[in-house]
């Protein structure tokens, strides 16, 4: 029993209480309380995003490098560094530190979904059979409820992946699992509970009564391993091989998921350590595995993946691109929630920005499409040179900060957070690295098989971000190789679309099982050409800039 | 031209049966395109595929071996004009000459000097490969005796530069050691027969490419099989252009008549032998005969050869260890990063720009960048703690404070746990190092009291 | 028998660049070729040129250089004269390391004055190198650009400082050496950045960073070969003359250590080390070589036929 002096930490606005555990950070308390709190760096005090307002006896978390004197005076602290001492401590999670939810991550196109309705499960006697399609992403869990008696999608829902608290990227999470006592169990538990909650939410959104009989889940290899109860550690070490690539059908009960205990769970097979079943589902939805012509597919998410091929052969890789376009690694980056700047234009003459905000409220930060636009506009306006260095010009709102030169998109008095929304040189370098990794991954695969750019007939862009990105901005900064604009086809959340497709038609699930082993996993870390292509792409738009000029001018050099 | 992976793939059965040992037919095709697998591994390949891929895979420049066993020298067997296209496989062989008419003491001394031309460089032994025995005496008995003595004293394979009489005698005297027969141009016929009978490699020397064409045909007609071509140049330019032309005939023209490894005798009276050798090492010379046995000449040539014949796909790595930047003292800051060359150059440049003298620890992570090395488990709390205790930095500075790259801030706890060092988390971007170092209070680097 | 010899013909041509000379001196023009080095085909109106480095900062010379130029080490102006009049250097690379805080720490004004003195003393073309300290160089280059009585080339512009150097060079009509760390992409990138500022292409020569023999020379050779191939194949940003500065050859222990007697005479060995480095660069396609040993000017020029 805690003694009388034992304290309590209360989280607002939820009003959840949790006993004060001396020595633990507020972030650890939040984790225990189940309070959503952004900590993209996994509590390493790198990102400065876990801001909370604090009242009560605390120490630490007032890093002067991250928080302004005014913020500190107002009781704002970094939750990962701030330790409650005693008594009653009130913690308010600030809006920008709160993960929100948006349907943007749900819509996806199924380019190959024209087949007959042949559900995995024939209607069982007595109740209506439901199928659940899942896209288990590094940052977001998305799902759809499918009526297996007619194939209708009854509901869609998404939530943040609760594993975010254990690190924003996959490697951080694997390290967390390895180094924290009970880390793997904790990581798995969070995933299972997150999945349960998502399934429960889906079921709550329909008035129909039924029973979940089948689940199709697409996820990266680490998440698939954790879901299946396999140790993901081997994936991060050379030769970067997963424990297994296929996951035999199991019941929810066997996996430890209470939400659909009797359902048959089908996890999309993985291609390799860093290319998972989500990419198999992408390919399935794109239909590139049925075409004679060669297609290229990008999945722009927290990790960038690229697949290349046609009906005979396919090759796929992970670009090890960072999460810049999900708002990670960027000072004022955020995900595509209300308050995020989603598009930006810069006046060529004055260098002054104008922008649009999701939800039309005051801007709080920049989401992926806004970041992409901003970079492209700064480059077009001559505020950034090809190497990503800022250049002062005219009345452009550029100023020096302790993070280097920064471009001020929103002044402090007009933002939702009371802090400026800026993009600094270090942010731009991070974006440059992300885009270079993605572009170079595609080029490395084309080179590995010996195909010129012109032989690619279609370029699919999957991922929630893909629905909203401005392709001209993308080509202006060289996010992709210079294909003519008409060749691009945004797919949205193709992983989820692929999983839905597999639920609706058992032949397509078979296709997925067949296409995976016939798709070669290309390990870029052992491709000697990759580092050089990466260096070549680490420029705006690219060191071989001629092709981009032609692609943007619409003359189609890559035809 | 070499086939691309997809071109090869189209010739394969496309069944992904894995019988070749690769996961898919495309994977197998990619390995073949990279020259790392041959069509024989596929049990289901069609005759057409075997024919097309078999000939595409054969090296355009034949292989010639001189000597046997451990000291065997391989010439030729190259596939590209530029090392960045793949790699150069068989290093230019260096032969140092000795004449059979030297007085016995001087002859023995010369052989000892040649044998001593062997050096250890970056963990590799580099040395002279062959002894070129000139026939000054004209006497078959003396020449044969000298050949046996040279082989005995050095153990190196021989290049026998002699007319037919002494050549035959020496070849008998060193039977089984597989010397290269190198007769004067005029004696090609007799020597070619000798090479055919004894199954020995033969150097064919003739004036220019046209002369070589005829001479090589004649040698082949006499039954000689392993041929090395010497276009008998008169000067440096002639030698280099001849060498380039023969290589291009082999690689670009696929000319089977002239596709041979090359040999150049740069001994007296050839002008500028040293400079010519230094040009011929990168420019396709297969075998060079030099008169100099001066280590001050030979060491640079062997080093150049060692450089040129490395695999260009190996990433540029920096030697791991402790680097001092500026006028360091025992209270200079200590930073750590990895041995990927770009990482090193960038960090070093930024430390220099700070004008704060500092020690830079370069960790051995097989040439990976900081984040890649961390992800791959090569840049860890353990490996850094081990480096801190093993690299000698503890004797160079009085403090125990390490500046860690901001990207791997999470390693700080583990390092502090495993070593006696305190960790400061440095900037995430190297470009932020100069202001960071300038802002650090000097007190951070005073000698540790505890 | 006449054999049909293969030829490699290219659509591109290396841009000719002239290092201007003073009154009575001979300018050095390099580039203009449309063929690879060490081949007989194509046109090559200008042969590679060999120049010498004149160092100004305090340093300890390796034995080979001590015996050759040791007596002039403290007198850069006399050294510059001898390089040109006696040893045949076609241009000079004046390195202003005397302004570096670690090797003299002389003022920027002193550095600029010395540059002016050397330029007045010799008519040969001059490339002026900075001291290597980023902050000092940021002041030194503009001072040199202003003080120089005739056009020179400033060495070197990289991603960090190219705006500053291009500005200084444009204002006074100088040329630039564009530098990159043994990376063909970065070599092209710095040229693109200069082009974006409107810097004239015919006043740029490329320095891809020359590793010394035994210490990365092979990487440089491959990069020079690739730059040349790309330029000849039509990439205008890489169709530029290449300069190889052989200074790193002297940093090798083999070039300076007199205690290793099994390596032969240190004097000869040092000279050979630099010569070998230079010859490999020539074979790869270098257009300008900068050496330090007087004897190597003639040796390297003798191999510059290609």
**pLDDT for residue A448 is more than 50:** yes
Is A392 touching C (CB cutoff 8 A)? no
Nearest CA in chain B to C1: B210
Task: Describe the strand order of the beta sheet including A8-12 as a list of residue ranges.
Answer: A16-19, A8-12, A83-93, A51-59, A76-78
Interface residue ranges in chain C relative to chain A, Cβ cutoff 8 Å: 159, 163, 183-186, 188-189, 192-193, 196
Helix or strand (DSSP H, E) at C175: strand C175-179
How far apart CA B142 and CA B103 sit, in angstroms, is 12
Q: What is the pLDDT of residue A276?
A: 94
CB contact under 8 A, B23 and A451: no
Q: What is the pLDDT of residue B66?
A: 97
CB B237 within 8 A of CB C283: no
CB C289 within 8 A of CB C242: no
How far apart CA A479 and CA A443 sit, in angstroms, is 12
Nearest CA in chain A to C195: A386
Within 411-440 of B, beta carbons closer than 8 Å to A belong to 414, 428-429, 431-432
pLDDT tens digits, residue range C133-148?
Answer: 888 999 999 999 999 9
Q: Peptide bond preceding C156: is omega within 30 degrees of 0, i.e. cis?
A: yes
Residue of A520, A524, A526, A530 to mutate when probing chain B, most B C-beta within 10 A: A520
- Residues from chain B that touch C221, judged by Cβ atoms under 8 A, are 83, 282, 307-308
pLDDT tens digits, residue range A359-409?
Answer: 778 899 998 889 999 999 999 999 999 999 998 887 889 988 877 789 999
CB contact under 8 A, C283 and B248: no
> Mean pLDDT of all residues in chain A?
86
Q: Is C55 helix (H, G, I), strand (E, B) or coil?
A: strand
Least confident range of A91-95, A272-276, B337-341, B388-392? A91-95
Is A432 touching C (CB cutoff 8 A)? no
Using CA atoms, how far residue B72 sits from A90, A160, B69, B75, C173, in Å, is 80, 65, 5, 10, 59
Using CA atoms, how far residue B206 sits from A528, B161, B211, C279, in Å, is 42, 15, 5, 27
**pLDDT for residue C272 is more than 80:** yes
Phi and psi angles of residue A156, each rounded to the nearest 5 degrees, phi first: -130, 150
Q: What is the pLDDT of residue A550?
A: 87
pLDDT (average), residues C261-273: 95
Q: What is the pLDDT of residue A36?
A: 65
Q: What is the pLDDT of residue B299?
A: 97
pLDDT (average), residues A112-123: 68
Q: What is the pLDDT of residue B315?
A: 66
Q: How confident is the model at residue A500 (pLDDT cuts 50, 70, 90)?
A: very high
User: What is the CB neighbour count within 10 angstroms for residue B13?
Assistant: 14
Neighbours of chain B (3+ CB pairs under 8 A): A, C
Q: What is the pLDDT of residue C196?
A: 95
State percent of chain A over pLDDT 90: 48
Is B241 touching C (CB cutoff 8 A)? yes
CB B128 within 8 A of CB B298: yes
Q: Is C26 helix (H, G, I), strand (E, B) or coil?
A: coil
Q: What is the pLDDT of residue B366?
A: 84
Q: What is the ipTM of this complex?
A: 0.96
Q: What is the pLDDT of residue B136?
A: 96
- Residues from chain C that touch A535, judged by Cβ atoms under 8 A, are 183, 185-186
Neighbours of chain A (3+ CB pairs under 8 A): B, C
Residue of A310, A320, A450 to mutate when probing chain B, most B C-beta within 10 A: A450
CA distance B362 to chain A (A): 20
- Residues from chain A that touch C163, judged by Cβ atoms under 8 A, are 391
Residue of B282, B327, B343 to mutate when probing chain C, most C C-beta within 10 A: B282
Q: Cα dihedral sign for B330, B334, B340, B346?
A: negative
Q: What is the pLDDT of residue A2?
A: 40
Nearest CA in chain A to B380: A175
Q: What is the pLDDT of residue A556?
A: 44
Q: How confident is the model at residue A43 (pLDDT cuts 50, 70, 90)?
A: low
Sole residue written with tokens 């990976």: B368
Q: What is the pLDDT of residue A528?
A: 79
Task: Give me the residues of chain B with pLDDT under 70, please.
Answer: 1, 55-58, 315-316, 442-450
Three-state SS string over chain B comes to CCCCHHHHHHHCCCCCCCCCCCCCHHHHHHHHHCCCCCHHHCCCCCHHHHHHHHHHHCCCCCEEEECCHHHCEEEECCCCCCHHHCCCCCCCEEEEEEECCCCHHHHHHHHHHHHCCEEEECCEEEECCEEEEECCCCCHHHHHHHHHHHHHHHCCCEEEECCHHHHHHHHHHCCCCCCEEECCHHHHHHHHHHHHHHCCCEEEECCHHHHHHHHHHHHHHCCCCCEEEECCCCCHHHHHHHHHHHHHHHHCCCCCCCCCCEEEECCCCCCCHHHHHHHHCCCCCCEEEECCCCHHHHHHHHHHHHHHCCCCCCCCECCCEEEEECCCCCCCCEEEEECEHHHHHHHHHHHHHHCCCEEEEEECCCCCCHHHHHHCCCCCHHHHHHHHHHCCHHHHCCCCEEEECHHHHHHHHHHHHHCCCEEEECCCCHHHHHHHHHHCCHHHHCCCCC
Residue of C185, C187, C198 to mutate when probing chain A, most A C-beta within 10 A: C185
Q: Between the ranges A94-98, A125-129, A461-465, where is the mean pLDDT highest?
A: A461-465
Q: What is the pLDDT of residue A103?
A: 41
Rounded to 10 degrees, the C-alpha dihedral A304/B366/A243/B35 comes to 80
Picking from B57, B76, B62, the residue whose alpha carbon sits closest to that of residue B256 is B62
Phi and psi angles of residue B356, each rounded to the nearest 5 degrees, phi first: -100, 115
**pLDDT for residue A39 is more than 70:** no
**pLDDT for residue A184 is more than 80:** yes
Residue of C157, C161, C189 to mutate when probing chain A, most A C-beta within 10 A: C189
Helix or strand (DSSP H, E) at A378: helix A368-380
CB A232 within 8 A of CB A226: yes
Picking from C155, C216, C165, C157, the residue whose alpha carbon sits closest to that of residue C186 is C157
pLDDT (average), residues A91-107: 61
- Choose between C291 and B340: higher pLDDT: C291
Cα angle, residue A510 at apex, residues A508 and A511 outer, rounded to 5°: 60
Picking from B416, B409, B414, B318, the residue whose alpha carbon sits closest to that of residue B360 is B318
> What distance lies between CA B351 and its chain's CA centroid?
34
Q: Cα dihedral sign for B2, B4, B7, B9?
A: positive
CB contact under 8 A, A46 and B16: no
CB contact under 8 A, B409 and A315: no
The shares of helix, strand and coil residues in chain A, as percent rounded to the nearest 5, are 35, 25, 40
Helix axis angle, B273-280 to B295-308, nearest 10°:
10
Least confident range of A159-168, A245-254, B382-391, C42-51? A159-168
- Residues from chain C that touch A532, judged by Cβ atoms under 8 A, are 184-185
CB contact under 8 A, C183 and A535: yes
**pLDDT for residue A340 is more than 60:** yes
How far apart CA C287 and CA C306 sit, in angstroms, is 10
Nearest CA in chain C to A541: C189
- Residues from chain A that touch B406, judged by Cβ atoms under 8 A, are 46
**pLDDT for residue A101 is more than 50:** no
């Amino acid at each position: 029993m805690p003694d009388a002096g034992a304290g309590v930490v209360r989280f607002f606005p939820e009003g959840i209480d949790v006993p004060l555990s001396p020595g633990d950070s507020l972030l650890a308390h939040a984790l225990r309380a189940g309070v959503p709190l952004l900590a993209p760096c996994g509590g390493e005090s790198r990102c400065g995003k876990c801001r909370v307002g604090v009242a009560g006896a605390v120490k630490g978390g007032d890093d002067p490098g991250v928080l302004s004197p005014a913020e500190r005076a107002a009781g704002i602290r970094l939750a990962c560094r701030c330790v409650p001492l005693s008594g009653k401590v009130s913690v308010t999670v600030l809006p920008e530190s709160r993960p929100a939810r948006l349907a943007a991550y749900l819509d996806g196109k199924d380019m190959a979904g024209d087949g007959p309705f042949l559900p995995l499960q024939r209607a069982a006697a007595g109740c209506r059979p439901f199928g659940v399609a899942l896209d288990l992403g590094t940052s977001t869990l998305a799902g759809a409820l499918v009526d297996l008696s007619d194939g209708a999608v009854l509901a869609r829902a998404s939530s943040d992946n609760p594993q975010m608290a254990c690190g924003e990227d996959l490697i951080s999470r694997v390290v967390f699992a390895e180094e924290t006592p009970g880390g793997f169990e904790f990581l798995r538990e969070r995933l299972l509970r997150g999945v349960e909650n998502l399934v429960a939410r889906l079921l709550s959104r329909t008035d129909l009564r039924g029973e979940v009989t089948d689940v199709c889940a697409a996820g990266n290899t680490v998440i698939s391993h954790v879901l299946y109860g396999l140790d993901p550690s081997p994936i991060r070490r050379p030769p970067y091989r997963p424990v297994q690539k296929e996951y035999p059908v199991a019941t929810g009960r066997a996996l430890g998921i209470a939400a659909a205990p009797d359902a048959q769970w089908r996890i999309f097979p993985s291609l390799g350590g860093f290319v998972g079943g989500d990419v198999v589902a992408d390919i399935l939805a794109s239909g590139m595995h049925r075409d004679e012509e060669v297609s290229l597919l990008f999945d722009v998410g927290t990790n960038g993946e690229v697949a290349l091929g046609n009906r005979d052969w396919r090759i796929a890789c992970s670009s090890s691109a960072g999460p810049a376009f999900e708002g990670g690694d960027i000072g004022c980056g955020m995900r595509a929630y209300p308050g995020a700047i989603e598009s930006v234009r810069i006046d060529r003459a004055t260098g002054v920005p104008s922008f649009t905000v999701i939800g039309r409220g005051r801007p709080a930060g920049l989401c992926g499409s806004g970041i992409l636009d901003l970079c492209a506009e700064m480059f077009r306006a001559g505020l950034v040179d090809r190497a990503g260095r800022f250049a002062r010009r005219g009345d452009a709102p550029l100023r020096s900060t302790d993070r280097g030169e920064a471009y001020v998109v929103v002044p402090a008095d007009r933002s939702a957070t009371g802090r400026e929304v800026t993009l600094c040189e270090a942010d731009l370098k991070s974006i440059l690295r992300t885009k270079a990794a993605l572009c170079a991954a595609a080029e490395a695969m084309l080179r590995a098989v010996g195909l010129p750019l012109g032989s690619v007939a279609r370029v699919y862009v999957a991922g929630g971000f893909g629905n909203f990105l401005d392709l001209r901005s993308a080509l202006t900064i060289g996010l992709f190789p210079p294909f003519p604009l008409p060749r691009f086809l945004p797919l949205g959340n193709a992983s989820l679309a692929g999983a839905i497709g597999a639920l609706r038609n058992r032949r397509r699930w078979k296709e997925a099982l067949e296409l995976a082993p016939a798709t070669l996993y290309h390990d870029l870390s052992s491709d000697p050409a990759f580092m050089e292509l990466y260096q070549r792409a680490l420029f705006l738009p690219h060191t071989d800039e001629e092709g981009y000029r032609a692609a943007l001018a619409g003359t189609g050099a890559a035809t | 031209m070499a086939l691309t992976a997809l071109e090869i793939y189209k010739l394969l059965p496309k069944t992904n049966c894995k019988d070749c040992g690769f996961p898919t037919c495309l994977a197998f095709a990619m390995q073949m395109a990279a020259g790392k697998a041959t069509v024989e591994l596929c049990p289901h390949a069609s005759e057409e595929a075997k024919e097309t891929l078999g000939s595409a895979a054969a090296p355009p420049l034949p292989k010639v071996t001189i000597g046997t066993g451990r000291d065997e020298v391989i010439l030729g067997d190259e596939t590209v004009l530029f090392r960045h296209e793949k790699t150069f496989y068989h290093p230019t062989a260096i032969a140092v000459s000795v004449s059979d008419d030297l007085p016995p003491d001087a002859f023995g001394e010369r052989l000892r000097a040649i044998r001593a031309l062997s050096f250890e460089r970056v963990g590799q032994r580099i040395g002279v490969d062959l002894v070129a025995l000139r026939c000054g005496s004209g006497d078959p008995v003396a020449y044969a005796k000298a050949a046996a003595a040279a082989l005995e004293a050095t153990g190196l394979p021989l290049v026998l530069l002699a007319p037919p009489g002494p050549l035959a005698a020496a070849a008998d005297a060193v039977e089984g050691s597989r010397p290269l027969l190198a007769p004067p141009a005029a004696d090609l016929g007799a020597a070619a027969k000798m090479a055919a009978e004894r199954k020995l490699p033969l150097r064919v020397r003739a004036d220019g490419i046209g002369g070589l064409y005829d001479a090589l045909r004649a040698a082949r007609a006499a039954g000689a099989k392993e041929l090395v071509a010497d276009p008998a140049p008169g000067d440096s330019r002639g030698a280099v252009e001849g060498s380039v032309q023969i290589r291009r005939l082999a690689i670009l023209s696929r000319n089977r008549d002239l596709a041979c490894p090359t040999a150049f005798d740069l001994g007296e009276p050839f002008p500028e032998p040293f400079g010519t050798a230094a040009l011929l090492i990168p420019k396709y010379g297969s075998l060079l005969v030099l008169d100099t046995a001066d280590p001050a000449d030979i060491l640079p040539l062997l080093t150049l050869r060692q450089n040129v014949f490395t695999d260009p796909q190996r990433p540029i790595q920096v030697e791991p260890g402790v680097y001092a930047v500026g006028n360091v003292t025992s209270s200079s800051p200590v930073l750590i990063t990895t041995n990927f060359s770009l990482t090193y150059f960038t960090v070093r440049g930024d430390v220099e720009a700070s004008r704060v003298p500092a020690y830079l620890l370069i960790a051995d992570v097989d040439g990976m960048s900081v984040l890649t090395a961390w992800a791959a488990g090569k840049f860890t709390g353990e490996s850094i703690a081990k480096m801190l205790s093993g690299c000698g930095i503890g004797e160079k500075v009085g403090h125990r404070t390490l500046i860690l790259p901001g990207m791997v801030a999470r390693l700080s706890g583990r390092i502090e746990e495993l070593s006696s060092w305190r960790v400061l988390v440095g900037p995430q971007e190297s470009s932020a190092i100069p202001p960071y170092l300038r802002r650090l209070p000097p007190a951070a680097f005073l000698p540790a009291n505890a | 028998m006449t054999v049909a010899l293969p030829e490699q013909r290219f659509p591109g041509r290396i841009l000719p660049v002239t290092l201007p000379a003073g009154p009575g001196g001979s300018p050095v023009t390099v580039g203009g070729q449309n063929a690879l080095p060490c081949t007989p085909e194509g046109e090559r109106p200008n042969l590679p040129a060999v120049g010498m480095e004149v160092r100004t900062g305090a340093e300890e010379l390796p034995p080979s250089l001590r015996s050759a130029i040791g007596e002039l080490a403290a007198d850069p102006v006399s050294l510059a004269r001898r390089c040109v009049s006696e040893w045949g250097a076609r241009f000079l690379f004046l390195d202003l390391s005397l302004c570096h805080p670690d090797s003299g720490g002389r003022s920027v004004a002193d550095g600029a004055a010395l540059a002016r003195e050397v330029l007045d003393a010799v008519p040969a073309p001059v490339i002026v190198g900075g001291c290597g300290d980023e902050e000092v160089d940021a002041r030194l280059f503009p001072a040199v650009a202003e003080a120089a009585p005739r056009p020179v080339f400033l060495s070197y512009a990289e991603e960090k400082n190219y705006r500053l150097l291009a500005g200084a060079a444009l204002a006074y009509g100088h040329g630039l050496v564009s530098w990159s760390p043994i990376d063909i992409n970065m070599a092209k990138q710095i040229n693109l950045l200069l082009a974006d500022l409107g810097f004239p292409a015919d006043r740029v020569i490329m320095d891809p960073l020359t590793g010394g023999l035994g210490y990365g020379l092979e990487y440089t050779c491959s990069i020079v070969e690739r730059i040349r191939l790309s330029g000849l194949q039509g990439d205008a940003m890489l169709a530029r003359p290449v300069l190889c500065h052989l200074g790193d050859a002297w940093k090798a222990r083999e070039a300076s250590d007199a205690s290793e007697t099994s390596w032969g005479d240190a004097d000869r060995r040092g000279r050979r080390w630099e010569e070998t480095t230079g010859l490999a660069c020539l074979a790869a396609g270098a257009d300008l070589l900068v050496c330090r040993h007087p004897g190597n000017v003639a040796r390297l020029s003798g191999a510059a036929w290609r």
